[in-house]
Amino acid sequence: MLELLTMLGAAAMSYVAFAWLALSQEGNWRALPGNADRPMPAPAVQRRWRWRAASMLACAYALCLWGHGPSFGTVSWVLLSAAGAMAVAFTLSWRARWLRALAFQ
């Protein structure tokens, strides 16, 4: 059970982290409904999003290490990062409006 919970927790963190990373890029931010004509958030905001993403990824790694140990934890984190990033890409393609909740500055 602990194994599953730490995986799910780290997966969620990975998803949120990559969502912020994606939103910090203009092309992806504009994909959200209604953002096509709005002014792009300031570079400071973009940097903030990237910092949040990095911190969240670090937290995910820490959680993986805590729940699965050094080798399993590292491998899990690398794979969860890939999965999280892909999930964000698919969200942007099909349900971009879901990311609106994370686009807070």
Task: Tell me which stretch binds another protein (CB under 8 A): 23-31, 34-42, 43-51, 54-62.
Answer: 23-31
Site size with another protein, rule: CB under 8 A: 27
Q: Tell me how far apart the alpha carbons of residues 86 and 92 are, in angstroms, rounded to a whole number.
A: 10
79 binds another protein (CB under 8 A): yes
Helix or strand holding residue 27 (H, E):
helix 26-31
Q: Tell me how far apart the alpha carbons of residues 56 and 1 are, in angstroms, rounded to a whole number.
A: 23
Distances (CA, A) of 10 to 55, 92, 101, 104: 12, 21, 19, 21
The interface with another protein within residues 83-102 (CB under 8 A) comprises 83, 85-86, 88-90, 92-94
User: Are 41 and 29 spatial neighbours (Cβ–Cβ below 8 Å)?
Assistant: yes
Task: Tell me which stretch binds another protein (CB under 8 A): 3-11, 32-40, 42-50, 55-63.
Answer: 3-11
Q: What does the binding site for another protein look like in residue numbers (CB under 8 A)?
A: 3-4, 7, 18, 21-22, 25, 27-28, 68, 71-72, 75-76, 78-80, 82-83, 85-86, 88-90, 92-94
